[in-house]
Amino acid sequence: MRKPHVYATEAFVLKRMDFGEADRILTLLTPRGGKIRAIAKGVRRTTSRLSGHLELFTRSNLLLARGRDLDIITQSEACERFDHLRDHLWHGAQAFYVVELVDRFLEDAGEHAGIYHLLLDTFRRLDQQAVVASTGSSVAGDTALVVRYFEIHLLGHLGYRPAFHHCASCGKRLEPVENGFNAALGGAVCPDCIRYAQRPLSLPALKVLRLLQTTEWDALPHLRLGPGLQSELEQILYLLIRYHLEHDLKSLNFLQMLQVPR
């Protein structure tokens, strides 16, 4: 069946690139069409009706016309912005990291409704964390948990669900002791398979990873994690992400340069 020439979709702006004198090429994530690239003609002109509705980190309702190389955005209406992320460097950097993960992992097209809604929920949580930060509260731990939750569920949606309940090597149920971890095997390894471990996996870290993997965000208990445990969780998930992507992330290097708010 031939696809309609004009179609409507909700979309989240992942990236944008100036093109020509007044145009802009956008990378969009849509719930049913997956990741698409489209052009917004004349959007950089002050008189453009599209201007302001296609900013980074914006959820918009779009009308597009199919083109030979790029679809053309003919109408746009912003329905959700995350303005607080533009005002807070740390939270904005986390948002860029989340977006880069989605962009690098997803191929063009293909339905990714689960990832689309996971991304939106994550942006809402990060935006709320930025609001709390503006009051002077220290929310580094909560912000880190938001990102760790996103990472672990993104991997699950992509078919890379980490093994945190059974040994990734022998399949035996993990005991409440210090175990090991191997990204190439896909998760934790038991003491009997510790020779395969890349690094240790502490019992507190294993408990938090299991909780994040199996619990809806709104049902999570309030967790206050020390810097050491936060660092361990970050390193474990980075090893998994790095293994599956096979290259580093630009935004992660920038995050490591920033001073984490305390």
Q: Determine the pLDDT at residue 138.
A: 57
Q: Strand, coil or helix: what is 32?
A: coil
| 135-145: average pLDDT | 73
Residue 87 predicted with pLDDT over 90? no
Q: Domains of the chain: which residue ranges? A: 6-81, 84-257
> Which helix (H) or strand (E) element contains residue 28?
strand 23-30
Task: Report the pLDDT value the prediction gives residue 200, as an integer from 0 to 100.
Answer: 98
> Residue 259: its pLDDT value, please?
55
Q: Which residue has the tokens 């890379």?
A: 160
Q: Domain 84-257, CATH 1.20.1440.120 — does that match?
A: yes
Q: Which two tokens stand for residue 235?
A: 């390193």
pTM confidence score: 0.92
Indicate the CATH number for domain 6-81.
2.40.50.140
Q: Residue 262's pLDDT band (boundaries 50, 70, 90)?
A: very low
pLDDT tens, residue by residue, 185-223: 999 999 999 999 999 999 999 999 999 999 999 999 988
**Per residue in 229-245, pLDDT tens?**
999 999 999 999 999 99
- Is residue 260 scored above 70 in pLDDT? no
Residue 101: exposure state from Cβ atoms within 10 A (0-12, 13-18, ≥19): buried
- Letter string b/e over residues 24-41, b meaning 16 or more CB atoms within 10 A of that residue's CB: bebbbbbbebbbbebbbb
**Res 261 pLDDT > 50:** no
